[in-house]
Amino acid sequence: MLIDLFLTFAKIGVFTFGGGYAMIPLIENICVENKKWITNDEMMNITVIAESTPGPIAINCATYVGYKRGKLPGAIIATLGMILPSFAIIYAVSRFLNGFLEITWVSNAFRGIKIAVGILIVDAAIKMLKKMKQKPMQISIVICSVLTMFLIKVFAVNISSMILMLAAAFIGIIVFVIKNNMEKRLEEK
Number of domains in the chain: 2
CA–CA distance, 23 with 116 (Å, rounded to integer): 12
Q: Which residue from 87, 91, 67 is spatially nearest to 77, judged by alpha carbons?
A: 67
* Cα 166 to Cα 154: distance, rounded to the nearest angstrom: 22
User: Residues 107, 139: one domain?
Assistant: no
pLDDT, tens digit (0-9, with 9 covering 90-100), for 72-81 = 999 999 999 9
The predicted-structure confidence for 116-143, as pLDDT tens digits, reads as follows 777 777 777 777 777 777 777 777 877 8
| 139 in the same domain as 113 | no
Structural domain ending residue among the three candidates 132, 157, 181: 132
One domain, residues 62 and 122: yes
pTM beyond 0.75, yes or no: no
**Directed axis angle between helix 2-15 and helix 20-28, to 10°?**
130
Q: Are residues 125 and 139 in the same domain?
A: no
Same domain, 102 and 143: no
Q: Could you say which of 106, 132, 158 is where a domain stops? A: 132
Considering only residues 11 and 168, tell me which one the structure prediction assigns the higher pLDDT: 11
Where does a domain end: 117, 132, 147? 132
Q: Which domain holds residue 156?
A: 133-189
Residues 147 and 102 placed together within one structural domain of the fold: no
Does residue 113 sit in the same domain as residue 142?
no
Q: Are residues 105 and 162 in the same domain?
A: no
| Domain identity same for 165 and 180 | yes
Within this chain, do residues 122 and 42 fall inside the same structural domain, yes or no? Answer: yes
Quote the percentage of the chain above a pLDDT of 90.
12
Average pLDDT across the chain, whole number: 82
Give 7-46 pLDDT, tens digit per residue. Answer: 999 988 887 766 677 788 888 888 888 898 988 888 888 8
Q: Please indicate, yes or no, whether residues 138 and 61 belong to a single structural domain of this protein.
A: no
Same domain, 120 and 139: no
State the SS3 of the chain: CHHHHHHHHHHHHHHCCCCHHHHHHHHHHHHHHHCCCCCHHHHHHHHHHHHHCCCCHHHHHHHHHHHHHHHHHHHHHHHHHHHHHHHHHHHHHHHHCCCHHHCHHHHHHHHHHHHHHHHHHHHHHHHHHHHCCCCHHHHHHHHHHHHHHHHHHHCCCCCCHHHHHHHHHHHHHHHHHHHHHHHHHHHHC
Of the candidates 59, 15, 5, the residue with the CA atom closest to the CA atom of residue 37: 5
Question: Is residue 145 within 8 Å of residue 51, measured between CB atoms?
Answer: no
